[in-house]
Amino acid sequence: MKKLCAIFSLAAASVALAVEVPTITISKSDKLSIAVNGLSGEVAKVLENDLAMSGYFKITPPGASGFLVSGSGGGTLNGKVEDHGGKTVLSKSFSGSARSQAHQFADEIVETLTGARGIANTRVAFVATKTGKKEIYLADADGAGVTELTHDGNISVAPCLSPDGRSLAYTGYKSGYPDVYEINLASGARNRIIKFPGTNSGAAYSPDGGKIALTLSKDGNPELYVTSASGGGARRLTRTPGVESSPTWSPDGGEIIYSSDDRGTPQLYRISASGGSGQLISTGHGYNTEPNWSPDGKRVAFNVREGGGFAVAILELASGQTRLVGDGQDPAWGADSRHLIFASGGALILLDAQTGQKTTLVSGLGKISEPTWSR
């Protein structure tokens, strides 16, 4: 298994060197062949979909595959993965609902065979206009199990799932002003946690879930602030005459990338989470908003204006190269730093940024916008 990971990263490194592009494109033939045998019903269906969605696997019939997944159901799923030679490389039990068991097993398989983080056992949230008002919705990362989380009949926007997926912060206009609310997803309890005068919006949880970065206007201008996860102790980060918005944290929580129109049009900047100077990040585009930093720290997805609409762009921080990956708004990285979700054409789209493959995760809820993804 370790050897596999090593081969994988070696291949990645050599490809990257050869073409001087920091990302590699895995063609279909590079996918690991895997078969699911002995599982049936929802668990098998969800598991196969999760494995295919991960981007690392090609589902094949048993016998023709490099890896064989099997398991026995009941209350608990006892999952097993064997390699081509019949050697057991993974054996583990999973509890919870059938869907949850399948998601957990899928992530375990991805992590064991590729070394990458899985995205199956995570949740997405987004804004949708199904009721005629903007409300927050929650779903599994595969788009199943959509539930309406807010019923405010007002304006509920800018959701942010905590990295552990246990709570969700959003901007709600229930008081008539944009305030930040926090929902405990297990209990359903909701608290208004940030309610300064003016506008309170765009809450972004730090990777450890301990802090929130957001835009506040209480001091006379929209600026970035950092608060505790419960909204206390607001500390100001930026100090410009322009508009600062959409903070996103580095994996270690030490830095923040955000959008500011301090130079006329919105550009990306990078600042220490403890304050200091914001450094301009050049992207080659005139309009740069809604950045989202990948969990591995290597790239930033954001919006650029393109042909009258918006495109999703990915900036590789090491090389400074930017590429466009499709029409859409408000990109958010998954735990694997490989997949992105964004809103496009009123639907929630999943993009495999390595292969370019796009999948519609959720549609038919009016207009979907501002997705967020737990890690």
Partner 1 sequence: MVPLTFKKMHLSRPLRTACIATLALSLSSCASWKKGGSGSGGDYGGSDSDSVNGTALPDRQEGVSFLGENVDRNKFSPVHFGYDSFSVSGDERGKIREVAEFMRSSEKSIIIAGFTDERGTPEYNRGLGERRAQAVRSALISAGADGSRLQTVSFGAELPVDSSSGDSAWAKNRRAEFGVVR
Query: What does the binding site for partner 1 look like in residue numbers (CB under 8 A)?
Result: 134, 155, 157-158, 171, 173, 175-178, 195-199, 201-202, 215, 217-223, 235-236, 238-246, 259-267, 269, 271, 276-280, 289-290, 303, 310, 329-330, 369-370
Instruction: Count CB atoms within 10 A of the CB of residue 202.
Output: 29
Give the span between the Cα atoms of 111 and 104, in whole angstroms: 11
Q: Which is nearer to partner 1, 350 or 368 (CB)?
A: 368
As measured in angstroms, the least distance from the Cβ of 333 to partner 1 is 16
Q: Which is nearer to partner 1, 166 or 305 (CB)?
A: 305
As measured in angstroms, the least distance from the Cβ of 123 to partner 1 is 20
Q: Are 273 and 293 in contact (CB under 8 A)?
A: no
Radius of gyration of the chain (CA): 21
As measured in angstroms, the least distance from the Cβ of 337 to partner 1 is 22
Instruction: Count CB atoms within 10 A of the CB of residue 231.
Output: 22
As measured in angstroms, the least distance from the Cβ of 215 to partner 1 is 6
Burial of 282 (0-12, 13-18, 19+ CB in 10 A): exposed
Q: Which is nearer to partner 1, 78 or 131 (CB)?
A: 131
As measured in angstroms, the least distance from the Cβ of 23 to partner 1 is 24
Q: Are 302 and 289 in contact (CB under 8 A)?
A: yes
Give the span between the Cα atoms of 188 and 80, in whole angstroms: 35
Give the span between the Cα atoms of 183 and 62, in whole angstroms: 44
Q: Which is nearer to partner 1, 32 or 343 (CB)?
A: 343
Q: Which is nearer to partner 1, 112 or 272 (CB)?
A: 272
Q: Which is nearer to partner 1, 228 or 265 (CB)?
A: 265
As measured in angstroms, the least distance from the Cβ of 208 to partner 1 is 23
Taking Cα atoms as reference points, which of 252, 251, 257, 177 lies closest to residue 213? 257
Q: What is the strand order of the sheet 88-94 is part of?
A: 57-59, 32-37, 67-72, 77-83, 88-94
Q: Are 349 and 359 in contact (CB under 8 A)?
A: yes
Q: Which is nearer to partner 1, 145 or 197 (CB)?
A: 197
In this structure, what token pair is assigned to residue 275? 């304050």
As measured in angstroms, the least distance from the Cβ of 287 to partner 1 is 8
